[in-house]
Amino acid sequence: MKHLGVRLVLATLLPTVLITITLAPFVWSNIQNRLDHARTSAQAQLEAEYDVLLQDMNESINHALAVAEFPNIEHYLQSAQQTHSPYEEGQLKQNREQLDDMFKTLLTHFGRYTRLALIGKDGDEHFSTQHSGARTTKRNHSETRYFMEAMTLEPRSLYVSPPHLAPGIAGPEITTGVMDIATPVFGRDGQRLGVLLLTLDWGSLADRFLRAIDAQSGAVALLVDANGSWLLPTETSAMPFGGLLQTRWPDAWQAMQVANRGSASVGDNLLFFRTHDIRTHHFRSQAEQVFGLQNSQPWRLGLITPRPGLASLLAESPWKSALVILVYGLAIAFGLGWVLTNHRQRTLKAEAQQLSAEARDYARELADLYENAPCGYHSLNEDGVIMKMNRTEQQWLGRRADELIGKQKYRELVTPETRAAFDKAFQEVLRDGHEGSAECELICQDGSTLPVAIEATARTNADGFQYSRAMVFDLTERKQLEDLLTRQAMTDPLTELGNRRYLETQAAMEMAKARRNGMPLCLLAIDLDRFKNINDLYGHDVGDMVLQAFARTAKSQLREGDVLCRMGGEEFSILLPDTNPVRAEAIAERLRLSIEAATVTIGEDLIDGGNLTYTASFGVTEVKPDETSLKPAIKRADQGLYEAKETGRNCIVVA
């Protein structure tokens, strides 16, 4: 029994030792490969997010510089510092309202900003536009750091404040991180006129950095200033805003102070970091110089990711743990028979080598060629259900793999307007040709749409169709260029009004809407009186100024939804939806009186007295419900316009 016990112990220990020795190199190699992959992925991710942060900051700087150089802002600040007549006060008020509308438009278009404020050189706020509306009580900024700094700067220079807590885009009751960007405003003669203040919602900007980190990898994003103060939003980050990094990760803070970029070990984690100084790293922007508080720069960006080890290797896949236990159990059991034990060891070694090689090849191919491709990849079964989708396309859609794969039909991610094109291409893939392509729009998680081009082929075997394989290309830039060209083709460059083509396009929609809803629709034809005399006496430059003045006056008198277009020369048309002839005549009369009372400021170097007045004649007609185009209405309105010209000008004739 004693020898039996010894043999049983040896039969148990020997296979255990042999299996451990056999598997150790492969486990170590797997861990090293995962460590290299984690290092490469983390560094690439950190560099990508650094580029995004740098691009966002440079874009914000460019926006502030561009807005500060708007001629309307310069003109307004110069006019606001002078004594005005009642008429000039009205013009100044109108200019202020136009600037306020422009600022609101900028805030809406660039969602990252919470406030745009225009400040005079004495520190008084002329107006401030915020996401929550215009400020009702003006304030004085003369004691603020950003105002004092900006008033000492040269043209195209900025002061950037450190991120601090203040109301953000969500509303004044919700506090988040913001950053103030202030730049001086100069007149054409070099005179300092004031300061433009742009407040950036730092919380939304920094949140992009957090969302880009793969949460499944267990990585933690770091962003601190020169003092180690935490700059990421409290709701989604590992520390409260303003907290000190050295209290949470002292080793990380010590490593980040030694070098501008690099990596270090932080306990069981790996740290990758680099620095960003907005005062020196603004070379991609249009700024001459960028200033900030000395103790707030540079920023230090970092990424802490778990170090791969044996425990993480086993924990990430339960079947691997079960396989290890099974191998040991089988080795010990078969250790009681030498031949069977020896055979089992060779089999396990060969299987382990094959599994290790397959795992490395699969990881490299999947991570490098599929998941991180610059275009989207997906595979669909014959019912159109998603079988695979790479990480690039998931990020475009803002969706996770567990929401899509095996659960979602791809056509349901396509907008209803372009779904027919996708269905046609997918049917072509299912047919004998097994190839199809389409341009369509995808619906993202946040409700936005993404224009894409899809090129698909079928995977087949002897049994027929197995699944489709498709490449997806982002067409956003191409669509934006097409939209820009379309807008330019529809716009008169002098007055920035729609042209004849734009009128015809809008008229087709409004006439269809009027017939569908039974609403009246009217058209005004307008011609500036004796405009040829203005060009002959004062030159075409003065004539252009009169046309631009008319466009401003007309837009100020019209309603939202009214369509004002320049037909050519001094001729204009206005399409008035939901307006009967009586109401249209009243609108025309109001506009006529405004034009008659308006004064165009030309300048004493071009005209005696510096000002010019003018009048306009009007033709009014109703667009009839049974008319299929706007041409008959244009003809009637022109007839009324000619009659108004013949009866003395500066009057209205309803055709």
* Positions marked active-site: 570
Q: Show contacts of 430-437: CB within 8 Å, 24+ apart.
A: 430/382, 430/458, 430/465, 434/458, 434/460, 434/465
Short-list 252, 360, 409, 451, CA closest to 29: 360
Q: Is 321 left (phi over 0), alpha (psi -120 to 50) or beta?
A: alpha
Structural tokens at position 642: 């000619």
Whether the CB-CB separation of 460 and 466 falls below 8 Å is answered with: yes
Whether the CB-CB separation of 653 and 641 falls below 8 Å is answered with: yes
List Cα–Cα distances, 418 to 299, 387, 413, in angstroms. Answer: 45, 22, 10
Give the whole-angstrom CA distance, residue 435 versus residue 133.
53
Give the whole-angstrom CA distance, residue 356 versus residue 473.
34
DSSP for residue 365: I
CA 453 from chain center: how many Å?
20
Give the whole-angstrom CA distance, residue 378 versus residue 136.
53
Q: How many residues can be counted in the chain?
A: 655
Give the contacts of 16 (CB within 8 A, at least 6 positions apart): 328, 331, 332
3-class DSSP assignment, residue 123: coil
Q: Is 544 left (phi over 0), alpha (psi -120 to 50) or beta?
A: alpha
At 459, the amino acid letter reads R
Give the whole-angstrom CA distance, residue 348 versus residue 23.
9
Rg (CA), the chain: 35
